[in-house]
Structure formats: structure tokens, C-alpha cells
Structure 1
């Protein structure tokens, strides 16, 4: 279902309030970067460790602004046909057989009839240009190769695409583009120059408690504080995959499902699978001690 469009946003603070209302609690830096991307019609490149809320920001912006969200998930080997458009070859073949069954067909007319809008499969980039205003999420752009990055740069720079058989498609209003990167490789400078840039950190303890309680209304402050403290200690270890906010939410949800009101050492050890996803990380956390007196301190700013 397409969200209801909302009125224009006139300041970073106003955008932060809208994001807050849809459950995303931005810090001042995130709100400023997103507002400038919206106002200047520039793509926003968000980098950071997994679980810092990069993808969630795009989802929340679509909700907060009342815009449809279109997502392009990047992966190794992705090409233009997967991102922009392709032709529906099975339907084209069926169409040809139907023409042949009807009687003699002019070859040139038959070929022309194959390349019409009814047989075009619009992929995320073309859909974003056609359906703008919208939020276009280009997720994990660092997983794509250099050639795709160059192609993406051209499309996002011009907000147009030429389809040889149909002509030029141009966005009446540029989509709000959010690109995310976990920095598995460096994104090229040419793409960075076209974008506004923001590095997302893990939330500070107080904000993480607020996020946990906002997303899990049944979670009291004491348990939220214990979970946030333990997760913060886990992030300080040299783990294969340090937990992000999503894992903190999973852990808190697991504790609620078990009816726990506190996070003691035994419960923490028994439920580590909700927050850590590698055997080596679980072993490291158990060896170091997930919940110690230093992890039980009250979080203050």
C-alpha cells in the first residue's frame, strides 16, 4: 500500500520529528544528512558497520515522507538488466506464436510489436524514475562491481535512462536516493563525489535504550538498560560479527518471550544465540563474561 503523501519538510529538526513518529530515532547528524539529501536532490551514501541502521533509515524516510519505497539489493555480478529493465522473452515468444497462428505476418511489424511497453519488465532503477517522487534504496552498493558502479553513477547523475526501442525516460522529480555500504570494499571517489556522505555509528547507550523501548513497548527501562550495556560490551570484543541494533532488539525480544525482567549471567549465556551468530563469537563472549559488574552500571548519556 502506497503511503499517504505528507507536507514538505522545512528543517532537519522537523524531519527528525517525523522519523521519530515512525519509530526511527535519528541523531542530529543523520537528520541533517537526510534533510540535505532531500532538499538538494542529492543521493545520500550511508556507510557504517552492519546493524547501525542504514537500511532502516531509508525505510523510515519513506514512511515519514509518505513516499513509496523501491529497493535495489546489490550483489556480486549484478548488471544493468537486473537493475534497470529487461524484456519479457517468454511473453514475447508467446506473442509471436499467437501472431503466426493468426495467419501471415509482416516480419517488420511483428518485430516492432515485440518491443512495446507491455513486454518491458521495469526493474528498481527504472521504476524509481517512473514512480518518483519516491525513496530509492540502493542497498549494499559495495557488493557490486566497478562496472555496475559506473553504470549507477550515470543513471543517478542524469535521472534519465534511454531505452532504444521506446525512447528516453526521465524522472519528473528526482527520487530520494539512499545508498548503503558496509565497506566490504571502498566505493569509488566518482560515486562519492555525486553523493552526500554520512558515517553511521552504533547508537550511544541512552539512545539504544530509547530505541529498544520504542520498538518493544513491553520492555521496561531496567531490562532495556541491561541489554544495551551487555551489547555495548560485546561490541568492544574482537568479534567476527559485532551485534547491531537489530540483534539487540532480537535479544530483548527473546528475554520478553521468556518472561525475564532482568539479564543475569545464566540467562545471558542461554540466550546468546539471539545476539551472536558465530560459534567463535559465542565462545569468546562466554570466556570474557557477557554480564559483569561493569556491564551492570546505569547508562547515563
Structure 2
């Protein structure tokens, strides 16, 4: 980012100021996360967020992009993801059309034609290249734990100097490196080398009071009692022995569904017919129903 860090470039002076800016976009974070985010901006380092699904890792990157007024460029990781899918690819159909058009026009200069085929206009930028060529931008590398070890090593190389080598065109260097957020659900351990390159923060599920505040902020149409009931139930579900405990995302989905149904107070009957918005495994739903929805909603 040249001689200016992201925090300085966007006039963010303190972690508290960043927290306030996030709050304006309905993202409520604690002091630890606000400090980690501020330091990542100030130091120009990627922010590595780890935690269970649904705790707000991806949402932080989205909100950070909104705060900074920068486009969010997302690289969704998955098993088998390779460098070409993340970096760039050549647009072969367009190259072929260009070749046929040149032949029809009687172009006979082979060297010139080959050079034209590998012109920048035929290069399709994938997320990593898009982020390097877009300033400012926020690059979200989502669920890195789903990618293979080889891709993780490649990503480390890119994040080290924010340059990409295209053999036909040369080296492409970011004039202003993107703000980088890397997330992991910890389905496997990510190598230490990548973590050392980043600033690390573990996201916990929110406390009851914070979860109520998040629900009320994101869904202002939800009654205060309803928000409290959903947060209470979600906290109890996370303490249960479930295959997939709900995150904040599911609490918000549940509340939004209840609001759409015109519900102002959660009872066992309406909880039973809306469990699919908060629990996504049949076995979890059956276990909760068997234990009693009264206990879920009213237990201490």
C-alpha cells in the first residue's frame, strides 16, 4: 500500500473508531475483534479469522468493505481449488474468434498474431488478480481450511509480496495491496506459515446480551421479547450435543422467519414449525423436539 497503511489511508485512528464505523453498518464487535481489525489495517497485514460457522467471520469482511467504501472480492475455497482458478485464465473462445477474424482478414504475420492472442484483453482475471488490480479493495479468502495444502502454500506466496507472474505478460504488482481477510471454520489445521503471515483472531459465539443486541440491530422489526427468546434458545442449543449448533447467522434467520410470520413471542408450537431455519440437520431437530421445546424456551 505504498507508504500508507489502510487505517491511515481511510482515516481510522483507533480500534474504537473502527468499532463505531462497523456499528453504523449493523456489525457489532467486541474490543478484541475491533483491535485485531484495526491492527490489520494499520500494519498492512492480512487478518486471519477462525471460529465455528456462523459467528460472523465472512460478515466482517463484507462490512469492512462497506466501511472502507471498497469493493469486496471473494475467493471461495474448496477442495481441488488450484492457482489458475484463483488467479487468471485465458479466454480461449475470444482468442479463437480473434484468430479466425485475423485469418479472414488475410493476416499472415504469425509473430504479430501470436502476440495479439496473449494480449491483456484476453486475460480473464480471477479473484486474486482482480484484488491486486483493484485499489482499494477488500479480498476475502473464505474457508481456507477447505482448500488443499498446495493452494495454501500458493496463497502464502501471493500474500507475501502481492505480485503475480503471467508468463506471457510479465509480473503484475499491486500498486495498493488489498485489505485481506482470511477465514477458517477449522475443519482442518491451517499451516503455521500462513498464520504467521497474518494477524490472528478467534471469534467466539456472542454472549447473550450481545446476541440480543445483534438481533435487534439487524432486525429492528423484531420485538424485544422475541429477540431475547431467540438468543436464549440459541445459547441453549449451542450447549447441547448437536451435530451442527446454530451460529449468529441462524439466530438471525430464525428471527427473520418469525417476524415474517408476524410472531412477537416464541412458543413451543411456533418453534416446532420453524426449527428448520435454525437447525439444518434432521437428527438435531429430532433430538431437540424429543427433549422438549418447553425446556428449550424456558429452561434456566
TM, length-normalised to structure 2:
0.94
Corresponding position: 1:65 with 2:54: no
Is the partner of 1:20 in helix, strand or coil?
helix
For 1:42-84, what per-residue CA distance to the aligned partner results, in whole angstroms no more than 9, with x for missing partners?
0111010000000000000001111111110111111111101
C-alpha distance in structure 2 between counterparts of 1:291 and 1:135, whole Å: 44
Give ranges in structure 1 of 5+ residues lacking alignment: 1-5
C-alpha distance in structure 2 between counterparts of 1:279 and 1:243, whole Å: 14
Aligned to 2:182: 179
Query: Does the CA-based 8 Å contact 1:234-1:290 persist in structure 2?
Result: no
Shift of 1:255: 1.4
Aligned to 1:283: 286
Task: Provide closer, same or farther for how the CA distance between residues 155 and 142 of structure 1 changes in structure 2, counting only shifts above 3 A.
Answer: same
C-alpha distance in structure 1 between counterparts of 2:294 and 2:45, whole Å: 44
- Equivalent positions of 1:29-44 (< 5 A) are 29-44=32-47
Shift of 1:240: 1.1
C-alpha distance in structure 1 between counterparts of 2:13 and 2:281, whole Å: 44
RMSD of aligned Cα (Å): 1.4
Q: How many residues are matched?
A: 292
For 1:208-227, what per-residue CA distance to the aligned partner results, in whole angstroms no more than 9, with x for missing partners?
00111111111121110001
Aligned to 1:50: 53
C-alpha distance in structure 2 between counterparts of 1:28 and 1:290, whole Å: 35
Query: Does the CA-based 8 Å contact 1:16-1:26 persist in structure 2?
Result: yes
Shift of 1:106: 1.8
Aligned to 1:151: 154
Task: Provide closer, same or farther for how the CA distance between residues 295 and 177 of structure 1 changes in structure 2, counting only shifts above 3 A.
Answer: farther
Task: Provide closer, same or farther for how the CA distance between residues 214 and 139 of structure 1 changes in structure 2, counting only shifts above 3 A.
Answer: same
Aligned to 1:236: 239
Aligned to 2:24: 21
- Equivalent positions of 1:235-274 (< 5 A) are 235-274=238-277
Task: Decide which of 214, 223, 239 is 1:220's aligned counterpart.
Answer: 223
Shift of 1:248: 0.6
Query: Does the CA-based 8 Å contact 2:229-2:297 persist in structure 1?
Result: no
Is the partner of 1:292 in helix, strand or coil?
helix
Is the partner of 2:157 in helix, strand or coil?
helix
Query: Does the CA-based 8 Å contact 2:268-2:297 persist in structure 1?
Result: no
Task: Decide which of 109, 114, 124 is 1:111's aligned counterpart.
Answer: 114
Shift of 1:7: 3.9
C-alpha distance in structure 2 between counterparts of 1:254 and 1:114, whole Å: 52
C-alpha distance in structure 2 between counterparts of 1:295 and 1:246, whole Å: 22
